[in-house]
Amino acid sequence: MRDFSLFEQKFNLKFNNENLLIQAFTHRSYLNENKDFKLFHNERLEFLGDAVLELVVTEYLYLNYPEKTEGELTSWRASLVNSNILGEVAGKLDFNDFILLSSGEEKQKGKARKYILANAFESFIGALYLDQGKEACAIFIEENLIPELEIVLREKLYKSAKTKLQERAQEEISVTPAYNLIEETGPDHKKAFEIGVYLDDNLLAKGKGFSKQEAEEDAAQKALETKGWNKN
C-alpha cells in the first residue's frame, strides 16, 4: 500500500476522509489481484472529477478572457483538459508514485500509462471535490493545470489535428475528411480503437487511441504528415 500521507504533505492537503484519496488512485486492475481490498475502483470519481474539472476551467477562462468568444474558449478548454495534457501534468506531479495497479498494469508505459495518469488526475479532483468542495479543487487546478494554458496558446494546441486537416483538405481539394471505426479491442474498462480517415472514400491514414476522439486525432495527425500539410 502507498503512503498517502506523503501525497497530502506534497500538496499541503489533509483529507477528512482518506478513503476517498486512496480510492482516487485505485485502478480497476488492482482489485483483480487484491480481492480483500475494501474500496471500489476510481472510475465513478473520474466521472465526477471530469465534470468538476470542466466547470473550474470554464469559469477561469470566462472570467479571465472576457474578450474571447464562446468558440475560442471552448477550443482552449478542450485542449487544456484532454488526456495528453492531464497525463503529462499528473506525471510531473508524481501521481505515478501513488497509483494502485495490478502487476501487469505496472509494466505498462507510454500512451497506456499516460491515459491511466489522466484518469487518476480526474478521479483525484472528484475525491477532492467530495471531501473539501469546489474551492479546494479550483486552487489545485489553478496551481497545477492552468499554467499549461500558456503552452497551449503559444503552440496553438487548441487547434486540433482534425481541425487542421479539415481546413487544409477543403482548401487544397475541396473535400471534407470522414472518419470510420476500423477496429475496437480490449475489455470495457480499457478499450482501444483504431479509426481510419478518408478523403473521397480513399483511406489516407489510420490512428489508434483509448477513445474514439483520441484515435481520430491520431489519424488526422498522421494524415497531415502523409500529405505534407503539417507545416504552418
Catalytic site residues?
50, 122
Residue 129 burial by CB count (10 A; 0-12/13-18/19+): exposed, middle or buried? buried
Coil, strand, or helix at residue 29?
helix
Nearest in space to 202 (alpha carbons), one of 186, 223, 172: 223
Q: How many other C-beta atoms can be found within 10 angstroms of the C-beta atom of residue 81?
A: 21
CB-based contacts of 157, cutoff 8 Å, min separation 6: 79, 85, 151
Query: DSSP for 106-156?
Result: HT--HHHHHHHHHHHHHHHHHHHHHHH-HHHHHHHHHHHTGGGHHHHHHTT
Cα angle 232, 220, 86 (rounded to 5 degrees) comes to: 90
10: three-class secondary structure by DSSP: helix
Backbone angles phi, psi at 201, to 5 degrees: 70, 5
- Joined grid coordinates for residue 36: 480483500
